[in-house]
Amino acid sequence: MNQTLINKAMEMRNNAHAPYSNYLVGAAVETESGEILGGCNVESSSYGLTCCAERVSLFRAIAEGYTSFKALAVATDNGGSPCGACRQVIWDLCKNIPVHICDKNGLVKTIFSSELLPHAFDDSQLT
C-alpha cells in the first residue's frame, strides 16, 4: 500500500468544489511509473454535470499522457465507496487494480476493482 497515494487523495479533498452537497471527495491515481495525480469532485449548478473525484483524477492522468495505472485511492469524510459510473471508468482505464477507500482518519479498506464491478462490461465485448 502506498501511503503517499493515500495522503494525496486526502489532501485533494481541500480542493473539492462541492457547494451543493458539501460532500468533499479527493482521489489520486498512481501510474505504472510511480507518478501520482490527484483529483477532486467538481459540482455544477446543473447537478447532473457533476464529475466525481475518481474520474477527475483519471481524466487528468490521461490528459497528462499516462495510460497505465497500478492503484487508486479515494478519500471522503466517512469512507464512502466509489459510485457506479466511476467503477466502470476505473475498470475501463485501469482493469484490475487495488482501490484504497479512506475516511477522514485514513484507510478504511482496500478492495480490487474487479470486486467493485463484478462481471464488468468492457472493450473485450466490443467486437
Could you tell me the end-to-end alpha-carbon distance of the chain, in angstroms, rounded to an integer? 36
> Residue 18, interface with ligand THU (CB under 6 A)?
yes
In the chain, alpha helices (H):
3-12, 53-63, 84-94, 113-116
Among 1, 3, 4, 21, binds ligand THU (CB under 6 A): 21
Rg from Cα positions in the chain: 14
Catalytic residue status for 54: yes
Beta strands in 1-127, from DSSP E residues, in sequence order: 26-31, 36-40, 69-75, 98-103, 106-112
> Residue 58, interface with ligand THU (CB under 6 A)?
no
Other CB atoms within 10 A of residue 88 CB: 18
* Nearest distance, CB of residue 82 and ligand THU, angstroms: 4
- The 3-state DSSP class for residue 55 equals helix
Residues in the interface with ligand THU (CB under 6 A) total 14
Report 68-87 residues binding ligand THU (CB under 6 A): 80, 82-83, 86
Tell me the window of 28-36, 46-54, 99-107, 116-124 that interacts with ligand THU (CB under 6 A): 46-54
Query: Which residue out of 11, 35, 54, 115 is catalytically annotated?
Result: 54
Which positions lie near ligand THU, rule CB under 6 A?
18, 21, 23, 25, 41, 43, 50, 52-54, 80, 82-83, 86
